Copies of this chain bind each other. A is one copy, B any other.
Amino acid sequence: MAGAAIDFWYDFASTYSYPAAMRVADLAAARGVDVVWRPFLLGPLFAAQGWRDSPFNLYPVKGRYMWRDMERICRSEKLPLKRPEPFPQNAVLAARVATTLEGAMRARFTRAVYHAEFGEGRAIAERSEIAAVIAALGLSAEATLAHALSDANKDKLKRQSAEAQALGLPGAPCFVTEEREIFWGNDRLEQALDWAVGAKR
């Protein structure tokens, strides 16, 4: 029998996706769960709800709580935290590059972008920042960006985001089991993995 698998849906502008991206591989491996990394864009989902900015900016009380909560989480997980300016960063280019990469390289790129963005406060909306991340992974920035900006790859990311919307993802990060159980939030990662393992028993 095949082992359990889980889809990890994330958006590069999402703060809570940062600790989730740093935690998911080890926790899933410890339980024998495969992780499929699914970059998508929250923008269209938020726009469908009438939001034209991050809810953490639209609702400052939630924003203040979130940043303090992120401080606690990052301290507990021994992750650096530095807020990028402006927040949120436009995450479209990073998501396009993640979409064009496969498997382990997509996971490595994703972690590297989150580290740059929320660990170092870098403006990952900038092409030069993304190019630097790609190059640090030993890939050709020029070729990778060309692939990422192809129409076929742009369409692929659009289809991914449409799939997220069709699934009813309420935000990011989300963990979705093979039975389409949705768990929303970095703090639900362990529960999602336990559910995925339990469903396979």
Among B49, B69, B184, contact of A59 (Cβ-Cβ < 8 Å) = B49
Indicate whether A170 sits within 8 Å of B65 (C-beta atoms), given known contacts A187-B187, A187-B188, A188-B187.
yes
A65 contacts B188, C-beta separation under 8 Å: no
A168 contacts B49, C-beta separation under 8 Å: no
B65 contacts A182, C-beta separation under 8 Å: yes
In which size bucket is the chain A interface? 10 to 19
Q: Mark A168-193, 1 if CB is under 8 A from B, else 0.
A: 11110000000000101001100000
Q: Mark A44-81, 1 if CB is under 8 A from B, else 0.
A: 01000100000000010110110011000000000000
- Chain B residue numbers with a CB within 8 Å of A62 are 170-171
Using A61-B170, A65-B168 as known contacts, list a sample of 9 further A-B pairs with CB atoms less than 8 Å apart, ordered by residue number in A. A45-B61, A49-B61, A61-B169, A62-B170, A62-B171, A64-B168, A65-B182, A68-B182, A69-B184
